[in-house]
Structure formats: C-alpha cells, structure tokens
Structure 1
C-alpha cells in the first residue's frame, strides 16, 4: 500500500509539473525599457503570461534598433515596433507581420515651449528639430511631406531626451513619444505647446506586436495566447495606473515613480479606438498586407465593421436593417393600395 501511495503522489506531482510547464518566449523591444511597454510588464507581474504557460523574457532595444534584424539575430518569437519599424523590416526582406496594435494612434508628438513661434508643422521651415530615435525622423519626413514643407528647409539633429535642450535654445522642436519629454518638462513646471503627429496624416498604429510569418503558421495557438495575455496586461495598466507605474519604475532606472505615475494618466488617449484596443486597421491600404488580423478579429469585430474590414458582417447587418425597417413600410403601403382599390369599386 505504501508503494502504491508513493507512486500516486509521484504521478500527481508529474501531472501538476507538466500542466504548469512553460514555454520560453523572448520579446524584442524596439527601445530601452520605458512606459511604452507598460502593459507587457503588467502581464508578467499579474501572471497572465504564466497562466498562458509562457515564460517571457524581454530583450531591450535602443534608439537605433532595427526590429527585423534584431528579432532574427536574437531568435525572439515576438517583437514590438512602430509602423515605420515594421515597414523598414519588410522592405529589408524580413518576413514578419503585425498581429495586434497596442496604440490606436501614433504616440509621436512635436513639443515646443508655449511661447514658441512654432504653432503648426508648416512653421518647421528654417527650424531645428531634435530627435532621439530614427523612427521619429521617419515621422517628421512624412509630416513635412503632408504639409508640403521641403525636407531641406528643416534641420534634424540627434540629441538626448533632455528638456535642457529647449531651455538653452539648442533645438526649436523635439519629436518623440508623448510619454517622454512632454511629461518631464511638465513636471519641471514648464508650459508647453504640443502638436500630435496623428493630426497631420500620421494615422498609423504604434506599439505593434510582431511575429514571423513562419512562427504564425507553425504555432497560431501560442501567438493567440501571447496576444491575449499581452492585451490583458494593457487592460490592467489602464485600470491600475499607479500600480503599473511601479512596475515600469522597476525596469526603467532612468525614470522616477512620479514621472511614471504622470505618464500612466496619458494611456487612454492613445490606446482606444471606438472603445476598443489592440485592433489592426488598414483595410484597403498598402499596410494591410503587413497585418494578420486573425488574432484580434473577434475582439475588434465592431471596429472592423465601422472601418469596412469585415464585409460579411456589414452585408448581414444591412440585410437585417432592411428587413426590420423597410419590410413593415412595404406592408403598410401594400395595405393602403388594397384599401384604395376597394374604395374605388
């Protein structure tokens, strides 16, 4: 009996161990640890990745990270990048796709002191714009093209994300994340004028979750589990900003807890679209071939309906609308015609 009992205990232990066996997953970030990745930190701390049997490890990037090159160099299963980062990777031949988008509008902004003569991107002509990331350079060039300001009339320089460059007039404008210098300058008591790139034709998503086409085909279930766990982490970040600020502070030793808490307040403005987040939108555009909608389609069905992505859903909805509203009207008209005919007789 003792031997049987030991055998049962041993078997149960093996079963529990197998049930909680996790798969190592690497996430290649396109930048240093930052609030830009708050939802992933939350997913890790809250156990969402563990519940999905994923053992996640972050690989930190920097201001010059080429997301395609780094994903294939490190063997990362997933990457986080901007739209321009994905475009560069695909142009260079890296077969990767976006499977979800955290930021529903670009978090890139142009920041000036409130007393600056620069009020719109058309005023960038003859000015110096500071950047910390080459991705910001790509956004600047697209905005300049949209407002028809010649590229050679604007000077772009690489600088540290330091508000002192504003105060000593080294640069007229800083282009970067809303969660970066604008928060720092505000905490230091400065009044700012901020221009959102999204208001000037930069309507692409930010914080794209990427995976190789091969990995998507080989293990779609794992991709789905990762996407769901990650977006749950972002939902937690939205609902518990102060707590998640502490998570960010653990990873980003360049920040302060106060700065992280202030940044957390900005999340809702960039994460939601028609009340949803995580959605990929690009139907009918060149970018749509870079996206795999499979993993967010159910949660984003209403968004895709509004944007025209899900045509079958649109057709069904229109049919129901016609049935509910036009059929009764047609029946009433038919009765009226019959009634008039009877009166004529």
Structure 2
C-alpha cells in the first residue's frame, strides 16, 4: 500500500517538476501586437502549464516565420492568412488560432487625396504588396475593377518616405504603426482597409508544424491554452500589459505608442460575439477564394489544417481520467480497511 502511494506521489512530483522548453517566433519586432504571449510568460501561465517559452522577435529584414517552423528552428510562430496557401502548396503547418479576427493591413493615402474607396485607385501609383502576406489589399482593388496587369503596372518600390515625397499615391501600412507616426508628425492621412469593404481575413495566426503536433500533442495543447489565457489577461488589464510590454520587451517604443496600439488592436482581437482565437471553416473558405484556391484543393489542404480543439480537450480529460483511476485504485485498500475496522 505504501509503495503504491509512494509511486503516485513520485508520478505527481515528476509531472509538477518537468518543464518543456519551447520557442515562439514572432512575425515582427516586440510591440503590443504580441502582448498576450508576454503576459502568459510574465504572469506565470506558461510556467503553470509546465512550459519554459522563449519568445523570439523577428528580424525586420527577414520576418518570414515559415522556414523557421518547418526547419524545426521554432516550435510555434505567428503568421498571416497566407498560411492556407502555404498549406495548399504542401507545407505541413497547422493553424492553432487566429488572434486577430480582421486584417491589420490597410492602404494609407493623404487626406487631400482623391482616393476614398477601392475604385479610386485606378491610375494611381502604389507601393508593392506581397501577394502571399497581404493578398486582401490586392483583392480589394481587383474586386473594384482593377486588373492584375494594371496593378502590376501601378506598383512601385518604396514606402512611407516615397509616399511623403509624393512619389506614391498610396502605401501599404500596418494599422497601428505608420498611421501613429504620421499623427505625431502632423501629416494628414486616411486609411482604406479591406475590412470596411467586406474582406474579413484573419491576422496574426498562431501555428505549429504537423510534425511537432504529432510528436508532442500535450505540449501544443498546454501552450495553446496558456497563450489564450495570457491574451485574456492582457485584454482585461491593458494598463499593466502596456507597462510590461514597455519594460521587458518593446523598450524602443513609448508608452503612448503602445497604448495607441492596444486601443486599436483590442477590437481586432475580440470583437463583440467572437470567441478569442476563433477560426471557422466557412471563413477559411472565403480566404481560400482570395488566394484563388479551388474547392477541391481547399478540401484537400484543409484536412488537418485547423487545430482540433476537441482533441485537445480529450487529451486533458484523458490525463485526468488516468489520475482518477490511479487514485481510485489507491483508495480501495484504505476503503477495505475502514469497512473491516467498522465491522470489528
């Protein structure tokens, strides 16, 4: 009896003491955009889940996270809706959750521009846009009547600097970065975003590889749950999350800049009626259309693409069940002795 209880205590002790080291590759440098992961680390949610998480900022000159995950350099990473196209092209990636329910990418034009909606982009000079990462920006214009050829002809090298100089009529921006900088500089602008014209694609998708999921499903489940817990905390404690982000991660940004970012992104992360990290097959099907993926190809690519949260819950329940069985077995001799002593 004592040996059985000792074995149980040893198993529980080993379970409590074992820590899995994993890495999370961000898609950009440190900013509030990743505050949920910071808070999961700082508030001990990862530690409670038996995880030691290395949060790695991206190299601005090489922010693509796919090679790092597929080559095993990172266990988890953040990316854009182009992950579906990557999957369709054969990459063994699994989407765990969408932190942003809408795309944070927009076109920025000057406030004195005659561009107010997608159809006004005809004949304008645009910054070059990645058809993988920001397809929604191009599709928005194509749906307004701009052809692929005209878009290619309109695309030019350059960014905000060229836009300020008047060499570009519209420039691709991240909704919390360049617009804030322009406000500080007193430059008038407008942003034209796909979301406002019916193109609601996911952003900042947390993902892993099929290989890592197959090898360590419990680690994936624990990381997934702890990360969402971190995001819930961040949204409920914005001021604290901003301070933590500033002090320990985004030291290069001001508190005001981080506060602006938090205010804007909050509505992207958890709009009314939407579950944190939510993804649906229906919305992924709409995203597939943006990338020109046919139904048959989508069906093939989607099989195993979206993380099965029910399976994750089953994993957690299975461990609880095993522990309950072990404790039940351990209690049988004690119960027998109690009955025996009462009879005496």
Q: TM-score, normalised by structure 1?
A: 0.72
Cross-structure match for 1:118: 115
Change (3 A) 1:172 1:290: farther
In 2, the alpha carbon distance for the partners of 1:220 and 1:24 equals 14
In 2, the alpha carbon distance for the partners of 1:186 and 1:297 equals 46
The alignment covers a number of residue pairs equal to 285
Unaligned runs of 5+ in 2: 1-8, 286-297, 314-344
Alignment of 1:153-232 (within 5 A): 153-154=150-151, 155-159=154-158, 162=160, 164-232=161-229
Cross-structure match for 1:77: 75
Q: Deviations over 1:113-142 (max 9, x none)?
A: 222111112122222223687755533322
SS in 2 for 1:112: strand
Cross-structure match for 1:242: 239
Task: Tell me if the contact between 1:48 and 1:233 (Cα under 8 Å) persists in the aligned partners.
Answer: yes
Task: Tell me if the contact between 2:106 and 2:137 (Cα under 8 Å) persists in the aligned partners.
Answer: no
State which structure, 1 or 2, has the greater radius of gyration over its C-alpha atoms. Answer: 1
Change (3 A) 1:57 1:39: same
Alpha-carbon distance, 1:226 to partner: 1.0
1:255 aligns with 2:269: no
Alpha-carbon distance, 1:264 to partner: 0.8
In 1, the alpha carbon distance for the partners of 2:40 and 2:11 equals 27
Which of the residues 97, 101, 123 maps onto 1:100? Answer: 97
Which of the residues 25, 28, 31 maps onto 1:28? Answer: 25
Alpha-carbon distance, 1:32 to partner: 2.7
Alpha-carbon distance, 1:43 to partner: 1.4
Alpha-carbon distance, 1:270 to partner: 0.4
Change (3 A) 1:242 1:128: farther
Change (3 A) 1:253 1:146: farther
Task: Tell me if the contact between 1:98 and 1:211 (Cα under 8 Å) persists in the aligned partners.
Answer: yes
In 1, the alpha carbon distance for the partners of 2:112 and 2:133 equals 23
Alignment of 1:12-91 (within 5 A): 19-61=16-58, 62=60, 64-84=62-82, 86-91=83-88
Alpha-carbon distance, 1:165 to partner: 4.1
Q: CA RMSD in A?
A: 3.1
Cross-structure match for 1:295: 309
Change (3 A) 1:128 1:255: farther
Task: Tell me if the contact between 1:63 and 1:132 (Cα under 8 Å) persists in the aligned partners.
Answer: no
Alpha-carbon distance, 1:166 to partner: 3.8
Cross-structure match for 1:276: 275
Alpha-carbon distance, 1:297 to partner: 9.2
Q: Deviations over 1:78-114 (max 9, x none)?
A: 1111011x13432442211101111111111222222
SS in 2 for 1:248: helix
Alpha-carbon distance, 1:29 to partner: 2.0
Task: Tell me if the contact between 1:69 and 1:89 (Cα under 8 Å) persists in the aligned partners.
Answer: no
SS in 1 for 2:116: coil
In 1, the alpha carbon distance for the partners of 2:243 and 2:185 equals 21
SS in 2 for 1:32: coil
Task: Tell me if the contact between 1:99 and 1:296 (Cα under 8 Å) persists in the aligned partners.
Answer: no
Greater length-normalized contact order (CA 8 Å, ≥ 6 residues apart): 2
SS in 2 for 1:116: coil
In 1, the alpha carbon distance for the partners of 2:176 and 2:245 equals 12
In 1, the alpha carbon distance for the partners of 2:178 and 2:17 equals 42
